Amino acid sequence: MFIEEHHQEISDIIKENGKITITEITSKYGISDESARRDLRLLEQKGVCKRTHGGAISIGQVSARPPVNRDFDIMPIFDNYREISRAAAKNIKENDTIYLTGGSFGHIIVSFLPREIHYIVVVNSVNIGKELRRFDNIDVYIAGGKMRLVGR
**In this structure, are 104 and 134 located in the same domain?**
yes
Question: Per-residue DSSP letters for 42-89?
Answer: HHHHTTSEEEETTEEEEGGGSS----S---TTTS---HHHHHHHHHHH
**In this structure, are 88 and 38 located in the same domain?**
no
**In this structure, are 92 and 56 located in the same domain?**
no
Domain residue limits at 97: 79-142
Per-residue pLDDT tens listing for the chain (152 residues): 788 888 999 999 998 898 999 999 999 999 999 999 999 999 999 888 999 989 999 886 555 455 555 565 555 666 788 889 999 999 999 999 999 988 888 888 999 999 999 999 998 888 888 888 889 999 988 887 554 555 55
Element (H, E) at 12: helix 3-17
